[in-house]
Structure 1
């Protein structure tokens, strides 16, 4: 990496309903890139990809309402997909980014697709990682059990917010929660324990009411009808062992988006960008160069740019 300092700027944008949205811009170069997080996330999935992209592109990272460093609107009902898309437009304006390639991980896939539906002129391309085009509760673990349970869970959280927060915060701060997540949902041989710490720390601090209201919005949203109208270069990245948003959803999405490319990471799970960073970086770089006129420079064979998986501390 160059020894030259990488451009960095961070700020807050107050939107009309009172929420203060955090955003940061790093790097320089076209096409510009916007990173859209998953639900309950404040950027942990971009740990390797964001600095890699910042070497040759202007990269905008931001936090949704009630996520990370962003605040909650005065009217706490104003949480959900449509507000998120409006927020993204305002944040792009504040960052001076007229048009960009939208990257979405998990929930961010729905955000990117819906943003393209509403603000197509602002989207130069799409990179959709480990996510669904909509209604994620219908397919979580290839079952609709969570969809059936969710209304009851939401009622409990809404009725007892403080008690729910204390219980959730205490549970997520245990090592057991981290190890269960790694064992049940991720590839233990590829994920680094410290790559998840940011996610669990953030989720433990998050307002559970904001979480369930955001999830409720996602559960009712679908961009399936819009996929045929996506008119920008698109790359879909799927984890073959993803249980949150099963890989078949990504294959179905890629088949429906005109001329979309599909990259399947056979051993990848929902955290594939952390499990196989070298492979993801090389494929994304190629996509940006060949489909969007990104910087041209030599690249090593797939997965060989850097170790395709980080070393797990402690073995």
Structure 2
């Protein structure tokens, strides 16, 4: 982690207090957009690597992590998220940035580029889809069919659902099932996954469901050919949350997009392939001149005294 670090809250007009933290220095900035129900756990290794050369912004969506909810709790969804990011970037002193999106954060990054293209210098889209995520979860329609029942239950019995969710996700069994079924336990440290379960266990289920509903209806498919910034798509070949064919399709429809397919990666590929992802991202940023120019050191006695009067 860079020595340059600060954290703060920004209260937006509808009352939501949004948490954000900034580390490092250098333009363009790097903005990390999380997945649904996440508070930044997946950026554990990539964030400090980026902070060596960039001002890195991590922030929490409404009702996620340390961020609060708006006065009107129905103001949850993709359009509010993009408005929030626009304001948080201002608060962090970042004019333009490379947007990093993981899972649902890919939709956030794409929608933000559609609405605020002048603020986006590049995109790194990790283990996510361009939209309608319930249609392809586990490469099937089951969750989409169940969602109306899930939504009804959560909206009508939020306290009971919260208690049940907290009890289930706080058990070691939940972590073991995830490592065995959803993740590649041979590549992943258990300690890297614990923060995700700790956050999800204590999240307001109503906020979760309303955020999911918005992401389930959002679709940036028609915007893909209009993406006019350098784009790197990263996918895990064994990802069950977001099947790899979605990443291939997304990369094929974004002009000039590059694709990194990790052969045994899952939905948390940045944790499983930490060094590979860091190297590829570093190369991508360098090749597209998305890193700050190196500091120019005086080469002569005249230049030295000019630099230090």
In 2: Cα distance, 1:6 partner to 1:102 partner: 22
List, as ranges, runs of 4+ consecutive aligned residues in structure 1 with deviation greater than 6 Å: none
List aligned pairs for 1:1-315, cutoff 5 A.
6-294=3-291
Would the aligned equivalents of 1:289 and 1:296 in 2 still touch at CA under 8 Å? no
CA displacement 1:155-177 (0-9 Å, x = unmatched): 00000000000000000000000
In 1: Cα distance, 2:98 partner to 2:154 partner: 36
In 2: Cα distance, 1:108 partner to 1:141 partner: 18
In 2: Cα distance, 1:247 partner to 1:99 partner: 29
SS in 2 for 1:292: coil
Would the aligned equivalents of 1:125 and 1:292 in 2 still touch at CA under 8 Å? no
How far residue 31 of structure 1 moved from its aligned partner, in angstroms, is 2.0
Q: What is the count of residue pairs matched by the alignment?
A: 294
CA displacement 1:177-212 (0-9 Å, x = unmatched): 000011110001001110011100000110000000
TM-score, L = length of structure 2: 0.94
In 1: Cα distance, 2:201 partner to 2:111 partner: 28
Would the aligned equivalents of 1:140 and 1:243 in 2 still touch at CA under 8 Å? yes
In 2: Cα distance, 1:167 partner to 1:117 partner: 38
How far residue 296 of structure 1 moved from its aligned partner, in angstroms, is 7.5
Would the aligned equivalents of 1:289 and 1:295 in 2 still touch at CA under 8 Å? no
Instruction: Give the aligned CA root-mean-square deviation in angstroms.
Output: 1.1
How far residue 30 of structure 1 moved from its aligned partner, in angstroms, is 2.2
SS in 1 for 2:124: strand
Unaligned runs of 5+ in 1: 298-315
Would the aligned equivalents of 1:31 and 1:292 in 2 still touch at CA under 8 Å? no
Would the aligned equivalents of 2:121 and 2:290 in 1 still touch at CA under 8 Å? no
How far residue 293 of structure 1 moved from its aligned partner, in angstroms, is 3.7
In 2: Cα distance, 1:293 partner to 1:17 partner: 34
CA displacement 1:116-135 (0-9 Å, x = unmatched): 00000010000000000001
SS in 2 for 1:232: coil
In 1: Cα distance, 2:147 partner to 2:209 partner: 9
Would the aligned equivalents of 1:233 and 1:291 in 2 still touch at CA under 8 Å? yes
